[in-house]
């Protein structure tokens, strides 16, 4: 059985391939800022797209997109803010979630565009 991190990395590879097929230009994967991480940072149609990837096996107790809770959103937004400042980016930013559901024979990729907004508080 694969380790959790290996399953996650494989899901990120599948998500990246999916996004590239959809016309996204991948700028960075696994970009770190302090102890925060952005799974995929891409560009499409003038938008900077920050993508959180969630991979699940068969019959998970929690849907992949539900694992992106308020705390996780705050961490993603903080890292995205650091990314924009570091690279001096002046493009609108969008936050997407790509879920990868894996079973013994195949994977299913689901792309949730504009999945959440940066919290105001």
Enter the tokens of residue 88: 């001096």
Enter the tokens of residue 25: 């230009």
pLDDT at 78: 95
pLDDT at 60: 58
The residues that bridge with 51 in the sheet, in sequence order, are: 40, 96
Q: What whole-number distance in Å separates Cα of residue 94 and Cα of residue 49?
A: 5
Give residue-wise pLDDT tens across range 33-91: 999 999 999 999 999 999 999 988 765 556 666 778 899 999 999 999 999 999 999 99
Q: What whole-number distance in Å separates Cα of residue 41 and Cα of residue 26?
A: 6
Give residue-wise pLDDT tens across range 20-36: 999 999 999 999 999 99
Q: What is the pTM of this model?
A: 0.90
7 exposed, middle or buried (CB, 10 Å; 0-12, 13-18, 19+)? middle
| Residues 23/65, Cβ–Cβ less than 8 Å | no
Question: What string of DSSP letters covers 12-38?
Answer: HHHHHHHHHHTT-EEEEEEEEETTEEE
């Amino acid at each position: 059985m694969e380790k959790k991190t290996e399953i996650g990395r494989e899901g990120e590879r599948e998500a990246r391939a999916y996004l590239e097929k959809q016309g996204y230009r991948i700028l960075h994967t696994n970009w770190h800022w302090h102890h925060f991480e952005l799974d995929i940072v891409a560009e499409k149609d003038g938008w900077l797209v920050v993508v959180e990837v969630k991979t699940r096996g068969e019959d998970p107790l929690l849907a992949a997109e539900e694992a992106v809770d308020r705390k996780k959103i705050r961490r993603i937004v903080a890292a995205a803010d650091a990314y924009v400042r570091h690279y001096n980016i002046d493009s609108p930013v969008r936050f997407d979630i790509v879920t990868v559901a894996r079973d013994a024979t195949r994977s299913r990729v689901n792309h949730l565009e504009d999945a959440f907004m940066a919290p105001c508080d």
